[in-house]
Amino acid sequence: MARLSYPLDNRRLVGIMFLTPALLYILLLVGFPFLLAIAFGFSDVTVGNTDLNFVGLRNYFAVWENDIFRQVFETTIRFTLVSQIFILIFANILAIIFTQDFTGKWFARFIFILPWATPVSLAMIGWLWMLDTKYSPIDYLLLQTGFLGPNGILSNSRNLFWLATPDLSQISVIFVQVWRMTPLATVILMAGLSSIPTDILDQAEVDGSRFMRTLLQIKLPLILPIMVIALLFSMITMFGDMTVVYVLTRGGPVDYTRVLGLYSFQVGIEGGNLAQGAAISLFAFPLLLAMAIFMLRTASRAEVQ
Amino acid sequence: MSIVQITSLKKYFDSVRAVDGVDLAIDQGEFLVILGPSGCGKTTLMRMIAGLEKPTAGHIEIGGEDVTDLPPRKRGVSMVFQSYALYPHMNVFNNIAFPLRAQRRELKFDKRAIREKVENTARVLEIDSLLDRRPRQLSGGQRQRVAIARAMVTQPSVLLLDEPLSNLDAKLRANARDELKDFQRSSNITAVFVTHDQIEAMGLGDRIVVMSEGKIQQIGTPQSIYDDPANEFVATFLGSPSMNILSAKRFRFGFRPEHFLPKTLHDNPENSRIFHYYVKRVEYLGSDRLVYGYVQGHERELTLAKVPSNVRVSLDIEGDYEFAVHNRDIKYFDNISGQRIEQQSLAQAF
């Protein structure tokens, strides 16, 4: 027994043991692919010819001069920004509701966390059915209530074509992203709200503050740093995401819902041009890095106590 | 005239009786201290006066109006928490102005009136140079003043204080106690002060309410509570070291260590009760000697004596001495209930 426990008393050894899994994970699944992508980005590698010949910034210039890339880049930024606004609003409202006392709170929390806990691809297949061009249950309900169909309020057609028109397909994708990302932001904000000392909230109550004043002048300012962290998480996740559009629209109709992650995948893997695919995905990197640094600095500056 | 009237107030948390039937009248302008060990229900009682906790049963009247079901903002009370609960993201000015802004509709203030009130209150508490600072830039004592300023700025009818001195270090505390008392007296506000510290309670209170297990044990001036404890709990809770309690056949009796002195120091020993005292250990505390020992016939009950150092009596370890207590300083308690028994009724019982 003594012999067995001896190595575990060694702080260095135990430290290394605890760190190894995380280090391996970062090195093998994040670090290596990242370095590989950088190497690819400066080369002329394709699926057909895996020789790495250095070509400088050629890929980046080619990508930048490509009109489709510019549109994809703009779409990605627009989707990310618009969805973040809704995520912040919904997450704040939900976090406030879920930190109040009411019966069935546990169950309601459980239901609302589900979109985030479900595997993305699985959830997207569900949405694919919900938004189906012909058999969408949403369309069916609208039809039954007189919003669709002959003399319908929204359209004379029997369907809205959720994923097939330029405007609706973008709205649908943003809606699904908001649906998917709101739970995580909510959980983070809930943690923030419940970390506010009860003395402060009791004090506000004795001071005569009502619900809205306490919310706007006490609670929200106090959880601002945590809100920035939540925003950062969902922004970075969303900026690099490709699963949602890959399953729902494949970037269509035309290019209206094509985002950076998907485009990089389509050019690099499906199109076989590994070098340009890598260059496309790397365009997001400096932007995300700058965003992360800016937001983390804001958060630590706003940090109170 | 009483400004707060509390009638058979109860608060049960499931099976725990935090406050178990409290009747209390608080007079206008008095400094009332609620004293008790932790878990005695004193904070719950205060939170019910503030309106932060809903009573299970009973009534609270403030200024003649039944406020039992009213929210805190309609009660005209304000509160200082143990942690001070300053809003960390607001500067001192905005902290003090917060209750004024929150109650602007009820109190009918405009912006200029708010500024004036905040500045006046800050001046009284000598924090007018700190108005632009954030709470984290303040010392403990300054934070406490900001909390008091914020509580006072609305001119409440009752000021509730929940152990506001316990976060200050010992040196500051005596000073803060003195200032708090001065401030209360000059502003003539009714203050209810919760504490577990008997020295604070004795020093500050016009009256002290001693609580234990959700019930009031005794209400009275500091001196009457110390000299005339209503029961064994109050007798032993107040005083340091606490009262010696010895068992007799049908009752228990007690006397304070400072009243238990060598017989030679008593002027007229015929009014005193004499004990044979075996000295086990002596602690020299500067102004006093604290003597640990046993009274003959009570060898299982450690008995303490507090003898002033300026009394030139030698007390040796393992020595036997004659000690005495003046009859009026001996208190008798019921064996079972712990309630005080008067000496006369005891005489009849013999």
Q: Is B91 on the interface with A (CB under 8 A)?
A: no
Chain B residues whose CB is inside 8 A of the A225 CB are none
Q: How many CA atoms lie within 13 A of B100 on its CB side?
A: 23
> CB within 8 A of A12, min separation 6: which ones?
none
pLDDT in tens, chain B (350 residues): 689 999 999 999 988 899 999 999 999 999 999 999 998 999 999 999 999 999 999 999 999 999 999 999 889 899 999 999 999 999 999 999 999 999 887 777 788 889 999 999 999 888 999 999 999 999 988 999 999 999 999 889 999 999 988 888 888 888 888 888 888 888 889 999 999 999 899 999 999 999 999 999 999 999 999 999 999 999 999 988 899 999 888 889 999 999 999 988 887 777 888 999 999 999 998 899 999 999 998 888 899 999 998 888 888 888 899 999 998 899 999 888 889 988 766 655 54
Angle B195-B199-B202 from CA coordinates, rounded to 5°: 85
- Looking at residue A287, its pLDDT comes to 85
B272 near B326, Cβ under 8 Å?
yes
Give the distance from residue B310's alpha carbon to the nearest chain A alpha carbon, in angstroms: 48
Is B52 close to A199, i.e. CB distance below 8 A?
no
Q: Which fold has domain A66-304?
A: MetI-like fold (1.10.3720)
- Looking at residue B175, its pLDDT comes to 84
Among A197, A207, A305, the residue with its CB nearest the CB of B99 is A207
Chain B residues whose CB is inside 8 A of the A208 CB are 72-73, 99, 102-103, 106, 154
B52 near A201, Cβ under 8 Å?
no
Among A202, A208, A221, the residue with its CB nearest the CB of B102 is A208
What value of ipTM does the predicted structure carry? 0.85
pLDDT tens track for A61-97: 888 888 899 999 999 999 999 999 999 999 999 999 9
CB < 8 Å from A in window 147-166 of B: 150, 154
Q: Which residues of A touch B (CB under 8 A)?
A: 197, 199-200, 202-210, 213, 217-218, 221-222, 304-305
CB < 8 Å from A in window 102-131 of B: 102-103, 106
Q: Give CA–CA dist B73/A197, Å, rounded.
A: 20
Give the distance from residue A106's alpha carbon to the nearest chain B alpha carbon, in angstroms: 21
Q: Give CA–CA dist A93/A183, Å, rounded.
A: 11
Is B89 close to A202, i.e. CB distance below 8 A?
no
Q: Give CA–CA dist B130/B141, Å, rounded.
A: 12
Is B81 close to A305, i.e. CB distance below 8 A?
no
Among B52, B136, B154, the residue with its CB nearest the CB of A205 is B52
A305, pLDDT greater than 50: no
- Looking at residue B349, its pLDDT comes to 52
Q: Is B29 helix (H, G, I), strand (E, B) or coil?
A: coil
Can you list the pairs that A268-274 forms with residues at least 24 positions away whose Cβ atoms lie under 8 Å?
A269/A47, A272/A46, A272/A47, A272/A48, A273/A46, A273/A47, A274/A40, A274/A45, A274/A46, A274/A47
B293 near B280, Cβ under 8 Å?
yes
Can you list the pairs that B99-103 forms with residues at least 24 positions away whose Cβ atoms lie under 8 Å?
B99/A207, B99/A208, B99/A209, B99/B150, B99/B151, B99/B153, B99/B154, B100/B153, B100/B154, B101/A213, B102/A204, B102/A207, B102/A208, B102/A209, B102/A210, B102/A213, B102/B73, B103/A207, B103/A208, B103/B73, B103/B154
Is B83 close to A206, i.e. CB distance below 8 A?
no
Chain A residues whose CB is inside 8 A of the B50 CB are 202, 206
- Looking at residue A4, its pLDDT comes to 61
CA nearest to B80 within chain A: A203
Domain ranges of chain A: 66-304
Is B88 close to A304, i.e. CB distance below 8 A?
yes
Q: Is B52 helix (H, G, I), strand (E, B) or coil?
A: coil
Give the distance from residue A210's alpha carbon to the nearest chain B alpha carbon, in angstroms: 7
Give the distance from residue B82's alpha carbon to the nearest chain A alpha carbon, in angstroms: 9
- Looking at residue A3, its pLDDT comes to 60
To which residue do tokens 């060990």 refer? B37
With 0-12 CB in 10 A as exposed, 13-18 as middle and 19+ as buried, what is B82?
middle
CB < 8 Å from A in window 260-319 of B: none
Find residue B289's DSSP bridge partners: B284, B307
Q: How many CA atoms lie within 13 A of B232 on its CB side?
A: 16
B321 near B327, Cβ under 8 Å?
no
Give the distance from residue A300's alpha carbon to the nearest chain B alpha carbon, in angstroms: 13
What number of helices (H) and strands (E) belong to chain A?
Answer: 15, 0
A276, pLDDT greater than 50: yes
pLDDT tens track for A119-172: 988 999 999 999 888 888 888 888 888 787 777 777 777 778 888 888 889 999
Chain A residues whose CB is inside 8 A of the B158 CB are none
A2, pLDDT greater than 60: no
Tell me which residue of B87, B325, B274 sits closest to A221, measured CA to CA. Answer: B87
B143 near B86, Cβ under 8 Å?
yes
A116, pLDDT greater than 90: no
Give the β-pairing of B190-195 and B31-35. parallel
Of all residues in chain A, the percent with pLDDT exceeding 90 is 33
Q: Is B54 on the interface with A (CB under 8 A)?
A: no
- Looking at residue B256, its pLDDT comes to 94
Find the helix or strand (DSSP H, E) in which B300 lies: strand B298-308
Is B72 close to A222, i.e. CB distance below 8 A?
no
Q: Is B79 on the interface with A (CB under 8 A)?
A: yes
- Looking at residue B344, its pLDDT comes to 64
pLDDT tens track for A11-69: 888 889 999 999 999 999 989 999 998 888 888 888 888 788 888 888 888 888 888 99
Among B51, B85, B89, the residue with its CB nearest the CB of A203 is B85
Chain A residues whose CB is inside 8 A of the B101 CB are 213
Among B50, B89, B102, the residue with its CB nearest the CB of A213 is B102
